Chain A
């Protein structure tokens, strides 16, 4: 029997397949449902210092190979979120709190205000002013914010990176200097869709972030480059919708993977991916550890 359990970014997980941030992550009950459906751990919706209602709709638009979203970081603020984390924990897997802020102080405030098993710093959301990739594009910000959160909590801290830069590796190195336990790549790619009938951008926010199968090759490349350059582990996310996609991400160097857009097909995706990965490891006679980064070792 192949085992999928092991350490991922400072946590010990029963399997490396996680629920990505912002997907069915607003309520403790939906997070718990993902855990019960087989996720190795669950990441919450990104929460900030004060409540936000998010952008006006449409907040998503389906496009070729995926979808573009501009949710606008709706969240009830960390002050109203602990009960959701507590409920999510009943799922029996670690709960990672995704958090955002406008700088080191606000990030530290939000992190200190929550009791979670791990924090994932959203330095990468491409459609909210003053937050996410607006600050996360700059390595010095990434480093300072990571350090500030590391100082204020004693659980692992992951840093989620934006691919909307010329050199994602420099962001990864900054997170590592700041003390990150892992980096998570990638968040969505800046994107846009226009209504041909009226000439109007479709999303309420005009711009958004592309996710789904279309971005998988971009994510694979980012994970490949990051895992070659960093000592800290890399968690791969972007377009994973089958066990083959997860295996590909691990071959590129990922220690764990996250699944987002593919949840549109239902919670069964976790069971499908973990079962497929197990069969694959058995067939290949490999362990997860041996699989990780194997693409780099091919002649």
Chain B
């Protein structure tokens, strides 16, 4: 598939560094699937669907900054929906997100509600002004918020909020956020890691399972097509939480 020309219909500022871009046309993604977003003249980067027709982006570097310069009426090239997406399982689910990782979970939670599931959310942010999608999560069911500085909700990381819940009682837990945070949550949920699905971040380039840039050691899982959603029992047997690779394949270790 060539990149589809998509016109930006609307831009919403979710917090000082996070914006949502809504496009025409709309897509039909499974929540957890992603798009390769071609910011013409800069780069093509992976972004999860946060709406059927939208992505929610944190400004980090070249491509995302270039995207932030585009307003309604401007266009990007899109390839997708790509990847596997989350698998909705059971009747009661828990969403655990950190920062912009809330984006795919918001779409997932809304889909789960449409299907009649009971949804609880635990969302961690650095501070109250970083909060995104509060009303979307509140509409779905119970919401626990944590902030690193205690300016809103429970003080601490998302894992601190886990103590307020009984994670083992949910049929399925869905995770998306910074890797150390996801690893922390998984380690606190030992014993039922096969009921956790995590959307993970690896350096995705081709998005079609051939270039090898996003492969996960030691199985060689092609995250761009077999992921980005991977069950935690598989992640525990992988490089996840220890290192990831940069654009040239060099390992970048997480500090423990």
**A and B interact:** yes
Residues of A within 8 A of B (CB): 22-33, 45, 51-54, 56-63, 67, 69, 71, 74-77, 80, 87, 193, 195, 197-198, 200, 202, 204, 260-261, 263-264, 266
A62-B2, A264-B208 as given contacts; A57 in contact with B38, CB under 8 Å: yes
Q: Are A23 and B212 in contact (CB under 8 A)?
A: yes
Q: Are B220 and A195 in contact (CB under 8 A)?
A: no
CA distance in complex: A31, B206 (Å): 17
Q: Are B249 and A74 in contact (CB under 8 A)?
A: yes
CA distance in complex: A200, B38 (Å): 12
Total inter-chain residue pairs, C-beta < 8 Å: 130
Asked if B247 is an interface residue, CB under 8 A from chain A, the answer is: yes
Asked if B113 is an interface residue, CB under 8 A from chain A, the answer is: no
Known contacts A23-B210, A57-B38, A60-B210, then 7 further A-B pairs from the complex at CB < 8 Å, ordered by chain A residue? A51-B250, A57-B36, A58-B77, A62-B208, A80-B249, A195-B77, A198-B40
CA distance in complex: A162, B255 (Å): 44
Interface set, chain B 22-61, CB cutoff 8 A to A: 36, 38, 40-45
Q: Are B77 and A54 in contact (CB under 8 A)?
A: no
- Of A30, A76, A198, which one neighbours B212 at CB under 8 angstroms? A30
Q: Are B205 and A200 in contact (CB under 8 A)?
A: no
Interchain nearest-CB distance for A211 vs B (Å): 9
Asked if B20 is an interface residue, CB under 8 A from chain A, the answer is: no
Q: Are A76 and B206 in contact (CB under 8 A)?
A: no
Interchain nearest-CB distance for A76 vs B (Å): 4
Interface set, chain B 195-227, CB cutoff 8 A to A: 205-213, 215-220, 222
Q: Are A202 and B77 in contact (CB under 8 A)?
A: yes
Closest B residue, CB atoms, query A56: B43
A22-B211, A29-B216, A57-B205 as given contacts; A51 in contact with B248, CB under 8 Å: yes
Interface set, chain B 145-184, CB cutoff 8 A to A: none
Q: Are B77 and A71 in contact (CB under 8 A)?
A: no
Q: Are B206 and A74 in contact (CB under 8 A)?
A: no
- Of B38, B75, B213, which one neighbours A74 at CB under 8 angstroms? B213
- Of A52, A54, A263, A266, which one neighbours B205 at CB under 8 angstroms? A54
Asked if B69 is an interface residue, CB under 8 A from chain A, the answer is: no
Closest A residue, CB atoms, query B42: A56
Interface residues on chain B, number (Cβ under 8 Å) = 38
Interchain nearest-CB distance for A60 vs B (Å): 5
Inter-chain contacts of B40 with A (CB < 8 A):
195, 198, 200
Asked if B111 is an interface residue, CB under 8 A from chain A, the answer is: no
CA distance in complex: A216, B200 (Å): 36
A27-B220, A30-B212, A87-B218 as given contacts; A204 in contact with B248, CB under 8 Å: no
Q: Are A57 and B45 in contact (CB under 8 A)?
A: yes
Inter-chain contacts of A198 with B (CB < 8 A):
5, 40, 75
Interchain nearest-CB distance for B236 vs A (Å): 16
Inter-chain contacts of B250 with A (CB < 8 A):
51, 76, 80
CA distance in complex: A116, B172 (Å): 45
Interchain nearest-CB distance for A32 vs B (Å): 7
> When each residue 80-120 of chain B gets 1 if its CB lies under 8 Å from chain A and 0 otherwise, what string results?
00000000000000000000000000000000000000000
Closest A residue, CB atoms, query B213: A26
Inter-chain contacts of A51 with B (CB < 8 A):
248, 250
Q: List 18 A-B contacts (CB under 8 A).
A: A23-B210, A24-B212, A31-B220, A53-B246, A56-B44, A57-B38, A58-B3, A59-B44, A60-B205, A60-B208, A63-B2, A69-B206, A74-B213, A195-B3, A202-B2, A202-B77, A263-B210, A264-B209
